[in-house]
Amino acid sequence: SVAFPAGAQAPAQCRAGTLYLTIDTGWGREAEQIAAILRRHGVRATLFVANEPTVTGDRSLSPGWAAFWRARAAEGHVFASHTDRHWYFRGDAGPGRVRYVSRTREGEEVLDQAGMCRELARPIERLREAAPGATVLPLWRAPGGITTPNAVRMAEACGLHHQGWTANGFLGDEVPSESQPNAALARRALATIRDGEVLVMHWGVRSRRDPYANVLEEVITGLQSRGFCFATLPPGGRR
């Protein structure tokens, strides 16, 4: 007989394959609602953390969110870096240098190798203050998924591989609900997602009027009923 690790789903339950749900920090408005849905359905995700502004008026890795992250670590979710400031990489600026620009006019900077490693390490340091036992993978994700050749190389030199998402893995929680209502996003996810996809969503998106969290349970249970299992990313990531 084959032994399975604690919490693993047997192959018969995974007849359609394995999916990798990833969650970026975001606005946090539906964070507890989303966490409860994942808990109910035994879904463990890979959480990419940045220190972003949130609905509570602080930032996502401020002390006010410490209990939230501790609870997620205790549930078996794993973590990776989404940069500290959540600025955007906007082109290379010579060998070993990359432009890093705020979308909200907070500023811009040219990062060198040491600066890049600091930017990627700082959110994990903040996380560990809140949740010392958290499992952290040697992965990172650029804000917006937007990289440059230097950003990828420099992060590799910090020991981190870039992890994006797959073609059908964009769940659409960032787009306006007026043009992309939840029912349409759910239908698309259930029709197009295939084995091995890396899915991406957020703990709430400020601009979306009908929060994606309201349809997340339908998407997860629909995928599970089709025979998909959910797993956290492996340390080397997925391409």
pLDDT along the chain (239 residues), means of 10: 45 89 97 98 98 97 98 98 98 98 94 98 98 98 98 98 97 96 98 98 96 98 98 96
59 - beta bridge partners?
Answer: 53
**What residue has token string 């946090």?**
28
Model pLDDT, residue 5: 47
Cβ-contact 50, 83 below 8 angstroms: yes
pLDDT at 199: 98
pTM score of the predicted model = 0.94
Q: Own/partner pairs for 6-9, CB < 8 Å, 24+ apart? A: 7/42, 7/44, 7/76, 9/42, 9/229
Identity of residue 11:
P
Distance CA 71, CA 55 (A): 19
Give me the pLDDT at residue 125, please. Answer: 98
Cβ neighbours around 231 below 10 Å, total:
18
Residue 13 is predicted with a pLDDT of 77
- pLDDT at res. 2: 38
- Do 196 and 17 form a contact (C-beta atoms < 8 A)? yes
